[in-house]
């Protein structure tokens, strides 16, 4: 019998231990949901030894027994873990936390880990005043690390997302009509995805990476640089400069479709490339190089590989194919070739320069080698993989060649 809640708690405790912190205080949506299977507005205090304490501002009618995972396997009915009334407190403001911890007999943490990348300066400052004797440390990256190796249940949720994502993408050729714009095709696909259970929400880590459900790029718009840290750009709308911008899908252009697969709260990531008629030889070659690089990287998605090595390997490979100048963009090139997925689209690890992190079995990554051919659009591939002991397992299985939308 797997205890999902304990598995996840242990992932966080391991990070607490490595930073020699006595406790952490979580308040971001993503980390609260990760640890507790419940989103509330408030704070979860997790000591290195002992049970988590929930400080809830909203919902006002939340109960201790609403929080946590079922003790049995997911989906099965059963009691939740530790519905302990003394560890559940409705509060009006964070300043009540220290007193309640004292009443519970919990000594003030000497070193307290907070979410320094997520908490605003204003909130952090207030928390420091609540814990004047604690040394506060920024644990945001540690918590991302805790989330990077997925439990079997998390993997099953990402698999489920990938399955529904694949089913949705299968309908793309039928959605296309000659004369359509990128935006029109995107809207048709969004509708299919929503009807297939996509939750719509596209969660990202870090401020200011707003995006709607994903991106559809064709022609010149694939070369438009974005302020955001996605693989490719697209002009989008001035108020949200990413992705489709209303460009017509014209003969000779590619159409790259990269939507987030949030069907379960856990995201997978898939990109497929289509064409409107025939593309140039360079485009087909670049696409084949993407597929070849994907296969080579899949073999190295195994325990012990170092993230930056896979990135540099990718750069060398595309350089050997004479395609370095348009890899991951043209006017602006993204400096990664793969990224973790999970509760957000950009989890750790990232296959990028200076990333010394070592791959572990159970990590889930999207590999997305892509090329931008100016005027024509983008080509390439993206699939979601689970890191294994010997190689990666591809969990998004769907035709990978460029499909000509006009030949159907």
Binds its own copies (CB under 8 A): choice among 140, 148, 275, 396: 140
The answer to the question of residue 201 lying near its own copies (CB under 8 A) is yes
Q: Position of tokens 């699939």?
A: 383
How many binding residues for its own copies (CB under 8 A)? 61
**Which of these ranges, 28-36, 251-259, 316-324, 364-372, lies near its own copies under the rule CB under 8 A?**
28-36
**Which of these ranges, 118-126, 148-156, 280-288, 377-385, lies near its own copies under the rule CB under 8 A?**
118-126
Determine the Cα–Cα distance for residues 232 and 41; give it in Å rounded to an integer.
34
The answer to the question of residue 203 lying near its own copies (CB under 8 A) is yes
Determine the Cα–Cα distance for residues 140 and 205; give it in Å rounded to an integer.
10
In the complex, least distance from residue 225 CB atom to its own copies, rounded to whole angstroms: 3
- The sheet with strand 338-340 has its strands ordered as 347-351, 338-340, 364-367, 383-386, 393-394
186-213-263 Cα angle (round to 5)? 110
Is 215 in a helix, a strand, or coil?
strand
The answer to the question of residue 73 lying near its own copies (CB under 8 A) is no
The answer to the question of residue 216 lying near its own copies (CB under 8 A) is no
In the complex, least distance from residue 155 CB atom to its own copies, rounded to whole angstroms: 16
**Which of these ranges, 15-23, 29-37, 88-96, 159-167, lies near its own copies under the rule CB under 8 A?**
29-37
Nearest to 340 by CA among 357, 319, 318: 357
Nearest to 296 by CA among 399, 397, 389, 391: 391
**Which of these ranges, 51-59, 79-87, 268-276, 368-376, lies near its own copies under the rule CB under 8 A?**
51-59
Determine the Cα–Cα distance for residues 234 and 217; give it in Å rounded to an integer.
7
The answer to the question of residue 129 lying near its own copies (CB under 8 A) is no
Minimum CB distance to its own copies smaller for 211 or for 402: 211
Binds its own copies (CB under 8 A): choice among 71, 156, 171, 332: 332
Determine the Cα–Cα distance for residues 222 and 233; give it in Å rounded to an integer.
6
Determine the Cα–Cα distance for residues 205 and 346; give it in Å rounded to an integer.
6
Binds its own copies (CB under 8 A): choice among 210, 299, 374, 399: 210
Binds its own copies (CB under 8 A): choice among 190, 268, 382, 400: 190
Determine the Cα–Cα distance for residues 376 and 396; give it in Å rounded to an integer.
26
In the complex, least distance from residue 405 CB atom to its own copies, rounded to whole angstroms: 20
**Which of these ranges, 4-12, 148-156, 227-235, 395-403, lies near its own copies under the rule CB under 8 A?**
227-235
Q: Position of tokens 């289509």?
A: 274
Determine the Cα–Cα distance for residues 241 and 157; give it in Å rounded to an integer.
30
Binds its own copies (CB under 8 A): choice among 6, 33, 64, 91: 33
Peptide bond into 349 cis (omega under 30): yes
The answer to the question of residue 226 lying near its own copies (CB under 8 A) is yes
Asked whether 384 and 162 are in contact (CB, 8 A), the reply is yes
In the complex, least distance from residue 277 CB atom to its own copies, rounded to whole angstroms: 26
Binds its own copies (CB under 8 A): choice among 62, 231, 260, 283: 62
Determine the Cα–Cα distance for residues 90 and 64; give it in Å rounded to an integer.
10
For 171, counting Cβ atoms within 10 Å of its Cβ (0-12 exposed, 13-18 middle, 19+ buried), the class is middle
The answer to the question of residue 177 lying near its own copies (CB under 8 A) is no
Q: Under the rule (CB under 8 A), what is the footprint of its own copies?
A: 27-29, 33, 37-42, 57-62, 114, 116-125, 138, 140, 187, 190-191, 194-195, 199-201, 203, 207-208, 210-213, 225-229, 233, 237-241, 264-266, 331-332, 343
């Amino acid at each position: 019998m797997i205890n999902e809640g304990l598995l996840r708690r242990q992932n966080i405790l391991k990070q607490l231990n490595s930073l020699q912190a006595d406790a952490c205080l979580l308040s971001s949506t993503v980390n609260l949901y990760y640890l507790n299977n419940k989103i509330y507005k408030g704070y979860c205090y997790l000591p290195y030894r002992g049970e988590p304490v929930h400080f809830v501002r909203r919902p006002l009618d939340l109960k201790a027994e609403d929080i946590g995972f079922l003790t049995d396997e997911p989906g099965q009915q059963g009691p939740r873990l530790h519905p302990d009334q003394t560890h559940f407190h409705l509060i009006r403001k964070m300043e009540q936390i220290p007193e309640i911890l004292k009443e519970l007999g919990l000594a003030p943490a000497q070193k307290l880990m907070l979410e320094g990348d997520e908490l605003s300066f204003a909130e952090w400052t207030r928390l420091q005043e609540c814990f004047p004797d604690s040394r506060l440390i920024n644990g945001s990256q540690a918590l991302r690390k805790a989330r990077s190796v997925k439990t079997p249940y998390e993997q099953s949720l990402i698999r489920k997302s990938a399955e529904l994502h694949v089913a949705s993408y299968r309908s793309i050729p039928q959605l296309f009509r000659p004369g359509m714009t990128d935006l029109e095709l995107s809207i048709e696909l969004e509708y299919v995805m929503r009807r297939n259970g996509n939750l719509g929400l596209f969660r990202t880590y870090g401020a200011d990476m707003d995006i709607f459900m994903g991106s559809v790029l064709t022609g010149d718009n694939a070369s438009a640089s974005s302020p955001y840290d996605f693989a490719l750009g697209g002009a989008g709308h001035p108020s949200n400069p990413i992705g489709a911008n209303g460009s017509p899908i014209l003969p000779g252009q590619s159409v790259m479709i990269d939507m987030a697969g949030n069907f379960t709260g856990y995201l997978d990531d898939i990109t497929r490339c289509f064409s409107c008629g025939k593309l140039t030889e360079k485009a087909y070659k670049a696409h084949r190089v993407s597929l070849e690089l994907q296969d080579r990287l899949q073999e190295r998605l195994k325990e012990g590989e170092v993230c930056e090595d896979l990135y540099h390997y990718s750069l060398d490979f595309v350089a050997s194919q004479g395609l370095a100048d348009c890899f991951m963009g043209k006017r602006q090139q993204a400096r990664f070739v793969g990224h973790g997925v999970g509760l957000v689209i950009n989890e750790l690890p990232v296959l990028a320069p200076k990333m010394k992190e070592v791959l572990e079995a159970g990590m889930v990554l999207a590999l997305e080698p892509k090329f931008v051919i100016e005027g024509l659009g983008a080509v390439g591939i993206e699939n979601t993989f689970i890191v294994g002991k010997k190689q990666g397992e591809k969990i998004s299985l769907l035709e990978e060649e460029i499909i000509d939308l006009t030949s159907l």
